[in-house]
Amino acid sequence: MNILLLGSGGREHALAWKIAQSPLLHQLYIAPGNPGTAALGTNVALKLSDFEAVATFVATHAIDMVVCGPEQPLVEGLADYLAQQESTANVRFIGPGKAGATLEGSKDFAKGFMLRHHIPTAAYQTFDGTQVEAAKRYLKTLTPPLVLKADGLCAGKGVLILPTHEEAFQALDEMFAGKFGTASSRVVIEEFLQGIELSVFALLDGCGGYVLLPEAKDYKRIGEGDTGLNTGGMGSVSPVPFADADFMRKVEDKIVRPTVEGLQAEGITYRGFVFFGLINCAGEPKVIEYNCRMGDPETETVMLRLKSDIVELFIAAAEGTLSEQTVETDPRAAVCVMLVSGGYPEAYGKGYPITGVDQVGKDSVVFHAGTALTDDTLVTSGGRVLAVSSYGQTLQEALAQSMDGAAHIVFKDAYYRRDIGGDVIA
Ligand code: AMP
Ligand code: GLY
């Protein structure tokens, strides 16, 4: 099997690491990839927004399967585009078409979908710029903190949580005035949910079959103790201790299965990952959001714990036979610690040489997130630079391994959190 993996971050390096272990793999290409994925396959300089270029590459390199890491090409309809071209129509594609990706691409669609299929989520209403007064009246019925969400894709920045009605009214005006471009021309206002979050991942085959992957929890704030600005993710853990068998049964019965059946009922053929962003409200799981892809940095722990051959699962997803598959999970724990550039998520420097990546212990894997090669020297090239993911018998042990690994890696102004998993480690 020749596989083209799309994307360039830590998530894609982790997917490439797992795909490369499959005996079913012949050639792996990653577009555009990063210096980490270059060690596992061939990086290809493709722009993912250029569907024609992707199709040409697929057709001319005997690609059997395309796996899409990020949401943007899915929301823009890459799967549908390839299915419509004669030369790529038969290529297996892991990732939903435009209709399925709308679960992530429109928060209003996702909320309506959950309402239609009785999937537990926060109460909400959606408003556009002509309904400012109605939106403010609805806000007044809610108790702070107040949650405002831009309807469209905003690279993870479209959710605002405001402590007072005054601030929420002002934020609403700014959103309708174009704070997030057209993404905030409609705004979802919803009830604030109290609880602890986790990420659950399913792979769907478009025929009603699905498998669950190991669950994970990510840490979004820059500072220890979950303080400071939001980031793309500072680390992750898997398993999540409170997601015991009883809780996961509720997740499957009340959320995962109704979602799969809801997609079927609405005629949406969904072949790919669904990322359920959940919150545990006093023992009851509720959906905060859907994503149409894997999480980053959750993938950097989930892939360590997935024992099954991921290519076999992808083939079953493409062929509609996932209900016959079982997923084998590594009983060990995994913790990912993200090394970021000093200053991130605000302004930061780039181009600093990195050393020590090959010095980490045997229980750790280093995934590249924002690195580049300059004359054979590995340098920083993004806010999130490297993800150190480690195994341990317990989360504490895995965290200790990742701390040890991180301590070996050196670049100017490097920063990482030392408390990843701290809130769930007993
Ligand atoms: P999202 O982009 O939808 O993942 O939202 C970003 C973050 O905002 C989530 O990870 C939650 O921490 C928080 N959030 C979103 N919706 C709610 C809600 N209804 N209640 C509490 N927190 C929320
Ligand atoms: N870790 C959250 C996300 O990938 O959106």
Q: Mean of the pLDDT values across residues 148-172?
A: 94
Amino acid at 365: V
Ligand 2, atom 2: closest residue by C-alpha? 295
**Which pLDDT score is estimated for 156?**
78
Residue 73 has pLDDT above 80, yes or no: yes
Is it the case that residue 426 has pLDDT exceeding 80?
no
Residue nearest to atom 3 of ligand 1 (CA): 289
Q: Which amino acids bring their CB within 6 angstroms of ligand 2?
A: 156, 218, 233, 291, 295-296, 298
- Rounded distance between C-alpha atoms, residue 313 and residue 273, angstroms: 11
The dotted CATH code for 123-190 is 3.30.1490.20
Pocket test for ligand 1, best of 125, 288, 296 (most atoms within 8 A of CB): 288
Assessment of whether the complete model's pTM goes beyond 0.95 = yes
User: What does the mean pLDDT of the chain come to?
Assistant: 97
Distance 131 CA to ligand 2 centre (A): 31
**Ligand 1 and 120: CB distance under 6 A:** no
pLDDT category at 157 given cuts 50, 70, 90 is: confident
Domain with CATH 3.40.50.20 in the chain: 2-97
Enter the DSSP assignment of 189: E
pLDDT value at 251 more than 90: yes
89: pLDDT strictly greater than 90: yes
Gap between the Cα atoms of 414 and 342, Å rounded: 5
Cα of 136 to ligand 1 centre, how many Å?
A: 20
Q: Whose CA is nearest to atom 9 of ligand 1?
A: 288
Distance (Å) from CA 288 to ligand 1 centroid: 6
Alpha-carbon distances, residue 166 vs 139, 144, 185 (angstroms): 10, 10, 20
Cα(235) to ligand 2 centroid in Å equals 10
CA 361–ligand 2 middle distance (angstroms): 27
pLDDT tier at 387 (50, 70, 90 boundaries)?
very high
285: which strand partners? Answer: 280
154 pocket-lining for ligand 1 (C-beta < 6 Å): no
pLDDT of residue 95: 98
For residues 159, 165, 167, 172, the Cα torsion angle rounded to the nearest 10 degrees is 50
pLDDT single digits (tens) 328-382: 999 999 999 999 999 999 999 999 999 999 999 999 999 999 999 999 999 999 9
Rounded average pLDDT over 283-293 = 98
145 lines ligand 1 (CB under 6 A): no
Residue entry with tokens 């395309």: 66
Cis preceding-peptide flag for 70 (omega within 30 of 0): no
Measure 276 CA to ligand 1 centroid, in angstroms. 12
> Is the C-beta atom of 289 inside 6 A of ligand 1?
yes
Q: pLDDT tens for residues 25-64?
A: 999 999 999 999 999 999 999 999 999 999 999 999 999 9
Comparing CA positions, the residue from 422, 15, 396, 14 lying closest to residue 219 is 422
CATH architecture of 2-97: 3-Layer(aba) Sandwich (3.40)
Omega within 30 of 0 (cis) for the link into 120: no
pLDDT confidence tier of residue 155, bands split at 50, 70 and 90: confident
Place of tokens 């550039």: 341
| Phi, psi angles (nearest 5°) of residue 374 | -120, 110
Separation of 145 CA from ligand 1 center, angstroms? 11
Average pLDDT over residues 65-69: 98
C-alpha span between 313 and 292 (Å, rounded): 17
Q: If you average pLDDT over residues 138-165, what whole number do you get?
A: 94
CA distance 325 to 304: 19
Confidence of residue 135 (pLDDT cuts 50, 70, 90): very high
Looking at the chain, the domain(s) classified CATH 3.30.1490.20 span 123-190
Within 10 A of 252 (CB to CB), how many other CB atoms are there? 17
Question: Is any ligand 1 atom within 6 A of the Cβ of residue 146?
Answer: no
Q: Is 193 close to ligand 1, i.e. is its CB under 6 Å away?
A: yes
Percent of the chain's residues with pLDDT above 90 = 99
- Is 362 exposed, middle or buried, given 0-12, 13-18 or 19+ CB atoms closer than 10 A? exposed
Strand ordering across the sheet containing 159-162: 124-128, 186-190, 146-150, 159-162
* Strand-pair category, 92-94 with 65-68: parallel
